Amino acid sequence: MFDPADRTGLLLSYADQFREVPAEVATRPFAKSHQVPQCESEAYVWAVKRPNATLDLYFAVENPAGVSAKALAAILGKTLSGLPAREIAQVTPDIVEKIFRQNISMGKGLGLMSMVQAVRTLANAAERSDTTHDA
């Protein structure tokens, strides 16, 4: 198991891998319908359906200090993009505690759990509709 310093370093590494939503998916000002509620880092989430019915996830984090949100966005994007919507919808917000452990405040934890819930909501909507984003 990682010690806290290793875990922090790993999360910082993921934050460095964060890539913002491409302009062909969304541009500023971002639609409020994609904003993650309760997220201190002003995160936004999009899901775009691929021709093979899998999803690509995209994120924006407006707060430059939103390291935890950027790390989680990178993790979710790398691990879930390319999966079917039904599989993405099964990811639960409790992964936030597993990833971050005790390294975050309650408020930040709620915001990060809201990011996961926003991804689940988009995945559920994608199962019901072919239109999964609006820039």
Q: What is the chain's alpha carbon radius of gyration, rounded to the nearest angstrom?
A: 14
pTM attached to this predicted model: 0.91
Residue 103 in domain: yes
- What pLDDT score was predicted for residue 109? 94
Q: Rounded mean pLDDT of 95-106?
A: 86
- Give dist(CA 18, CA 6) in Å, integer: 19
Residue type at 123 in one-letter notation: A
45 near 118, Cβ under 8 Å? yes
Residue 81 in domain: yes
pLDDT tens digits along 4-62: 778 788 889 999 999 999 999 999 999 999 999 999 999 999 999 999 989 999 999 99
Residue 45 in domain: yes
Residue among 23, 44, 49, 42 nearest 33 (CA): 44
Our count of domains for the chain comes to 1
Residue among 26, 27, 8 nearest 16 (CA): 8
- Give dist(CA 134, CA 44) in Å, integer: 12
pLDDT tens digits along 67-98: 999 999 999 999 999 999 999 999 999 999 99
Q: Looking at residue 29, what DSSP letter applies?
A: S
Residue 133 in domain: no
Residue 72 in domain: yes
CATH of the domain at 9: 3.90.1010.10
Query: Residue 9 class from Cβ within 10 Å (0-12 exposed, 13-18 middle, 19+ buried)?
Result: exposed
Residues 6+ apart with CB under 8 A from 87: 80
Structural domain span for residue 28: 4-128
Residue 98 in domain: yes
Residue 135 in domain: no
Residue 134 in domain: no
Element (H, E) at 59: strand 55-61
